[in-house]
Chain A
Amino acid sequence: MNEKLALSDEILLSIGKPERYVGGEVNSVIKNLSDVKIRFAFCFPDVYEIGMSHLGIQILYGMFNEYEDVWCERVYSPWDDLDKIMREKNIPLFALESQDPVKNFDFLGFTLQYEMCYTNILQVLDLSGIALYSKDREENDPIVIGGGPCTYNPEPIADFFDIFYIGEGETRYRDLFDLYEKCKEEGISRKDFLKRVAQIPGMYVPSLYEINYNEDGTVSEIKPLEGAPAVIEKELCTDLSDAYYPMKPVMPFIKVTQDRAVIEVMRGCIRGCRFCQAGQLYRPLRERDVEKLKEYAMTLIKNTGYEEISLSSLSTSDYSKLNELLEFLIDYCNEHKVNISLPSLRIDAFSLDVMSKVQDVKKSSLTFAPEAGTQRMRNVINKGLTEEDILKGSHEAFVGGWNKVKLYFMLGLPGETTEDIEGIGDIANKIAVEYFETVPKEKRNGRTIEITASTSFFVPKPFTPFQWASMNTKEEFLEKANITRKGIMSQLNQKHIKYNWHEADASMLEGILARGDRKLSTVIYNVYKRGCIFDAWSEFFKNNIWMEELENAGLDPMFYVKRERTKDEILPWDMISCGVSKEFLWREWERSKQGVVSPNCRQACMGCGGANYGVGICFQPKTGV
């Protein structure tokens, strides 16, 4: 038995949830050190329960460990109680499986899922004893590599990384590992290794790009050095059905956020909502074969013993064989006492039937994401959902016995008017009216309609048609939340409508980092040095420190947030391509200003550029609008 633990009993017994740090979970992989050539520490820079819920790491962890010469282990951000102890006692950060210090590894990989985790990257590097800046690292330090959605604009954290992997991890890691082994054998320096890495498709080595600026702070030039490519194209897994899928995911001992077996039904999305970054980054849509998915579900249930399974994708209702898959799962899961955790499906007769079979109608709720309060605004953002869809879906659900409705909206969308904001209250009220008209008093059995409307603040993201758009300031956001609240209060059925809104400070910072440039790395470094970590957690987020350090660096938050970009501006992330052309995004930006909707990829092709990958929805016959 592996008795070795990096932390003493005294420490483990004095911190919260010691199970986060002891490893040994079912399906975690232990290898013999003498059998491996590459040790890879894979980090999700947030607390264990969040990181262990992420499917991407499970995929790459399983795939890497299938390679005989590679041992991949996991690392998460120590929670602040342990963080303090490790600093006090100079305990180096360790990987869970071997409990060995991360500093001894060949690679330290970060998955970058949201901007607010950036200071946690520095926490992990710092606790590991690895220099924070790439340029300061020593020959034997791990190669620090990042992947995931934030790498599509990695500029604010570019100085902390040796490599960014642009795109889906399934395709190029083997090439990278082969090159690493070769360079190690040949005794090639870290710097020369990175130069060679830049020649592998999908690899962005930020130190090989010189960024110059105009006087107004915008980028004047992105200059590749040492033969690095001018543009790094996203890597894409072209055969999803035959791609590696983890049949033995690591199973946490403690309850984590996503505590269930997951089958990924497809990647990409046909919808083209103009605010949505994921909808562009993962194009084109590729489905997994339904027979494969059935097999995965059965094997996963057998291998894990999970009592719940869920389907994962950006828009599961669009999976072409969803009926077949769900019918199979309902039967199989019933027999094996497994719950099905449904993603939010488009509400129609089919989904209501499925929901009534797998959920308790009295407890569960309907979810709609109209995202905006009026049809005009929904056309601007290309969200296909109409008021009629919502009311018709609600009507059918109320007949079926549901009485709880959740509504999701965004505030601060480009071109938003007071009328659009007030529309949020209107639509919530209409749903309540629909309930009272559909369900007569004698059939309500003491229950009534409960509507929850939530708004988040819109943050423009790179590689969306809104990447050029102006983002609202905190004051504007709060004013809009207030208008929304008043709009709801003025409704006849207001006592049936609950309203929640997000914090504005965090959205502002997310906006700065999402479209930020390399100048921000100093700010991230300085706020970290002043104690900022876990910025994604409101109890830890210290907005004033961020604002002070932006000012100290001579940077104006409004430059990143408020400023509408022009067509000819060089964007900080222009060295990266997600397969969707800038011309297409600009066309969509223009169409949005005119309130013109665009068909989805199943209806017609808008020529985004995704077809260049030669796979998926782009090569299926179109249904027309």
Chain B
Amino acid sequence: MEKLRLKFSKHGPIRFLGHLDVMRYVQKAIRRAEIDIKYSEGLSPHQILSFAQPLSVGSTTDGDYIDMTVNSLESPEAVMNALNEVMNEGIVIIAVTALPEKCVNAMTSVAAAEYLISFREGKAPNFNLEATMKAFMEQPEIPAIKKTKNGEKTIDIKPLIFKYEILDDKIHLLLSAGSANNLKAALFIESLYNFAGEEMQEFAAVFHRVETYLAGEDEKGHYVQPMIPEKLYDFSFAAPGKAEMGKIYV
């Protein structure tokens, strides 16, 4: 038995798939690829498979993760190749690694996610991104209205924004993620528009996930690190030269 972590990208029309449909798609691909995945016991066995972080409909990604448990395998790379063989364009497995046996699953270990937010043609904000962003972040508290099951509540998102920069009219962000302190990129952008006093046009923002991170700690303090530190983009906060060993101290 072995645990694997796979990193995937998602581009093109397939970005309109909802999270549950992506899961169903991957489950079927695993069966087509004849991967010896472990099934749960019981009357209706299901694959031991866990997705790190759901991605909202319409978004693209270069850094999403799946953990799976297999009974046997030739090599992690063979699993990746077999999967890529049977998937249609759109979703590509771009990296794979074996995990130590005692390892929390992808879902519970996520600590941060990196995004690029751009704007659809003709729908860019009227306010100056650079200056507004600066003033926005200088607030002692950053209020955002979070919609929950029990209605709306105002939360302070400042501690959930780890890093930011403006990159060619795009907002580059490292946000807290995971089951405990998740900040959706959509909520961030809404809050920024509110601060600027501007009404956001419908579907103005385009969300792209660059990377998903795990938490860690060493003598220098708390940091986050890509779930598999491979194939990082130059602009990524964890890119070589920007952060030592892909570690970003937060």
Query: Residues on A close to B: CB < 8 A?
Result: 1-3, 5, 9-10, 12-14, 18-19, 22-26, 28, 251, 253-255, 301-307, 337, 339, 360
Contacts and interface: CB of A to CB of B under 8 A. Distances in A.
B58 interface: yes
Given A9-B58, A12-B58, A1 B11 contact: yes
A304 B90 CA distance: 18
A367 to B, nearest CB: 21
Contacts of B30: 305
A24 B90 CA distance: 9
Interface of B: 11-14, 16-18, 21, 24-25, 27-32, 34, 39, 43-45, 57-58, 86-90, 120, 202-203, 206
A2 B90 CA distance: 9
Contact of B202 (A1, A10, A254): A10
A552 B87 CA distance: 55
A516 B17 CA distance: 42
Given A305-B28, A337-B45, A2 B13 contact: yes
A22 B88 CA distance: 14
14 contacts: A2-B89, A9-B206, A10-B120, A10-B203, A12-B58, A13-B58, A18-B16, A18-B58, A22-B16, A26-B88, A253-B14, A253-B17, A254-B18, A339-B44
Given A2-B13, A253-B25, A360-B43, A24 B89 contact: yes
B89 A1 contact: yes
Contacts of B28: 26, 251, 304-307
Contacts of B44: 339
B57 A13 contact: yes
A139 B206 CA distance: 43
B24 A255 contact: yes
Nearest to A21: B16
B206 to A, nearest CB: 8
Contact of A305 (B13, B29, B39): B29
A73 B29 CA distance: 23
Which of A12, A19, A301, A305 counts the most B-chain CB atoms under 10 A from its CB? A305
Contact of A24 (B14, B18, B31, B57): B14
A12 B43 CA distance: 38
A5 B43 contact: no
Contacts of B24: 253, 255
B39 to A, nearest CB: 6
Contacts of A303: 32
A363 to B, nearest CB: 9
A359 to B, nearest CB: 10
A1 B11 CA distance: 9
A302 B31 CA distance: 7
A35 to B, nearest CB: 19
A255 B39 CA distance: 22
Which of A9, A253, A254 counts the most B-chain CB atoms under 10 A from its CB? A253
Contacts of A9: 58, 120, 203, 206
Contacts of A22: 13-14, 16
Contacts of A12: 16, 58
Contacts of A28: 88
A549 to B, nearest CB: 38
B16 A1 contact: no
